[in-house]
């Protein structure tokens, strides 16, 4: 090699060396290093919002997924140099974050959306919903309604939900097929229903459901769902708790939802509904309490001490005029609080982004303090806080190594995302369900670029429309 050529090469080498930091030369970001492993999936994002304890947000980040688990998270450069994958989901102008947790709902009630509006809770329940359920709800209704709900939740970025309705085996099969994660309740109620005659029958059939699904699918957790203190007596509530404890499963229940419930409990038992349940040791076990609109300060402390997970349903509570839950007080007391939509018959949709906004605004205006329930707190309620409230905080709710890979992507190139100064602010106060582009649950892609991978949406729409026509004909004949 002649001297002039060697000199040129040395100069080029020194220039390249000067452009690198010592970290570049020693880290796994070095582009010379070959990827260490082949993995199932890499998801990129302009931002990766991890929702870990430090609220880490990674610019130009990636999430590495293998065998349904998050195995690494970091900068795009780091992840792509460290791993190779046959499936890489582009993250240009997208935000990656944990899937949303819908902590309370009645999925199949999508088919009763708009059947009865603008009514108080007890009028709505006793004069419209309970009679409609006796008239129309069967296994076919539940299958179609649950699949319709799964479609709506996947579209909106919900990856885990807690359900309470009839025919739980049918619900579980629908969830198994669509790919979502769910805690599915065997409903316990002391009145003739579509799948049981009374509370004892509900409990007995619930035992079979729990035993059938306990180890069938890791995404599906069978639980018990006693409806409320006004549809069950203390002995039935105690029996449900004892059964759930024996089988090692949690309970989901409507609790302190309305002034009617609180007054009913005082008139019947001489104490509030929360105190009544505590008096019979019903709260001495894993409990997901939906609504909790009317707790006293002492009861909030009790909920914290007992480790009760509370699910706030702001849209439903507003629509039925149940009241405004003191969420700011519960969070300050250390209660685990998540968000839920309730059923589509009382909401009337399953949009968790709407729940985030309304939850924040409702607390602000009720307290007349714009600093109450800021965006970051609401974001946690919809993700890791919601996961903790339903007992899944160790496995989902944040993007961290070792957790299940329940991850979504949000498009941020629509006009309402421009400009973007604060990612969390935009997620809570701007994002709509239509902005969700990709949904992954347990490492499996359920929706990519708004294309559904596990749902036959044309069939579901046709079946739901046909069944709704039959319901309408019988309702208004």
Q: Identify whether 407 is part of a domain.
A: no
Residue 281 is assigned to a structural domain of this protein: yes
Show the CA angle centred on residue 230, arms to residues 228 and 234, nearest 5°: 80
Outline where DSSP puts E strands in 394-460.
407-411, 436-441, 444-448, 451-452
Angle at 217 between CA 213 and CA 221, to 5 degrees: 60
Residue 17 lies in a domain: no
Per-residue confidence (pLDDT) for residue 15, from 0 to 100: 35
> CATH no. for residue 255?
3.20.20.140
192 domain-assigned: yes
**pLDDT of amino acid 32:** 40
Whether residue 422 lies inside any domain: the answer is no
Question: Residue 472 domain-assigned?
Answer: no
pTM above 0.85, yes or no: yes
8 inside domain: no
pLDDT at 117: 83
Q: What is the per-residue pLDDT for 477?
A: 56
Strands (DSSP E) found in 204-334:
220-226, 251-255, 287-291, 309-312
Helix axes 168-178, 139-156, angle to 10 degrees: 40
Residues 250-283: tens digit of each pLDDT = 999 999 999 999 999 999 999 999 999 999 999 9
* Spans of the chain below 70 pLDDT: 1-36, 476-477
Query: In the chain, how many domains are there?
Result: 1
Evaluate whether 272 touches 296 at the Cβ level (below 8 Å).
yes
In SS3 terms, 136-178 reads as HCCHHHHHHHHHHHHHHHHHHCEEEEEEEECCHHHHHHHHHHH
Cβ atoms < 10 Å from Cβ of 400: 15
Residues 108 and 464 sit within 8 Å (Cβ to Cβ): no
In a domain, 16, yes or no: no
Report the pLDDT value the prediction gives residue 13, as an integer from 0 to 100: 34
Give the range of the structural domain holding residue 126, as residue numbers without chain letter. 100-391
């Amino acid at each position: 090699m002649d001297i002039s050529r060697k000199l040129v090469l040395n100069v080029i080498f020194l220039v390249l060396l000067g452009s690198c930091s010592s970290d570049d030369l020693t880290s796994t970001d070095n582009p010379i290093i070959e990827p260490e492993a082949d993995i199932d999936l890499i998801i990129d994002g302009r931002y990766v919002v991890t929702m870990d304890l430090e609220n880490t947000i990674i610019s130009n980040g990636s999430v590495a997924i293998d065998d349904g688990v998050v195995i690494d998270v970091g900068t795009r450069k780091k992840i792509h140099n460290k791993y190779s994958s046959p499936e890489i989901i582009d993250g240009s102008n997208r935000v990656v974050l944990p899937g949303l947790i819908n902590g309370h709902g009645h999925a199949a009630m999508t088919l009763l959306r708009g059947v009865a509006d603008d009514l108080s809770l007890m009028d709505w329940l006793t004069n419209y919903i309970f009679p409609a359920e006796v008239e129309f709800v069967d296994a076919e209704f539940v299958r179609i309604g649950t699949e319709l709900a799964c479609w709506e939740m996947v579209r909106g970025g919900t990856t885990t939900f807690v359900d309470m309705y009839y025919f739980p085996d049918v619900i579980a099969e629908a969830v198994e097929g669509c790919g979502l994660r769910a805690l599915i309740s065997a409903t316990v109620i002391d009145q003739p229903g579509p799948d049981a005659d009374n509370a004892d029958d509900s409990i007995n059939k619930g035992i079979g459901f729990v035993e059938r699904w306990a180890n069938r699918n890791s995404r599906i957790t069978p639980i018990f769902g006693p409806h409320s203190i006004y549809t069950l007596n203390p002995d039935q509530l105690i029996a449900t708790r004892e059964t759930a404890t024996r089988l090692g499963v949690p309970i989901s229940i409507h609790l302190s939802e309305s002034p009617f419930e609180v007054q009913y409990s005082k008139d019947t038992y001489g104490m509030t509904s929360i105190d009544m349940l505590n008096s019979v040791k019903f709260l001495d076990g894993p409990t997901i309490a939906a609504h909790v609109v009317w707790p006293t300060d002492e009861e909030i402390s009790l909920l914290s001490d007992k480790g009760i997970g509370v699910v706030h349903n702001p849209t439903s509570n507003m629509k039925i005029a149940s009241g405004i839950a003191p969420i700011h007080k519960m969070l300050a007391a250390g209660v685990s609080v998540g968000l839920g939509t309730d059923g589509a018959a009382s909401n009337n949709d399953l949009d968790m982004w709407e729940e985030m906004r309304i939850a924040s605004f409702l607390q602000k205006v009720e307290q007349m303090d714009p600093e109450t329930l800021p965006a970051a707190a609401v974001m946690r309620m919809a993700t890791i806080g919601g996961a903790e409230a339903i007992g899944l905080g160790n496995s989902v709710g944040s993007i961290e190594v070792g957790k299940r890979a329940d991850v979504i992507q949000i498009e941020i190139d629509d006009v309402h995302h421009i400009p973007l100064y604060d990612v969390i602010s935009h997620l809570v106060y701007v994002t709509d369900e239509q902005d969700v582009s990709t949904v992954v649950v347990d490492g499996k892609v359920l929706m990519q670029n708004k294309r559904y991978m596990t749902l036959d949406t044309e069939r579901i729409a046709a079946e739901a429309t046909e069944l709704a026509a039959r319901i309408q004909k019988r309702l208004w004949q």
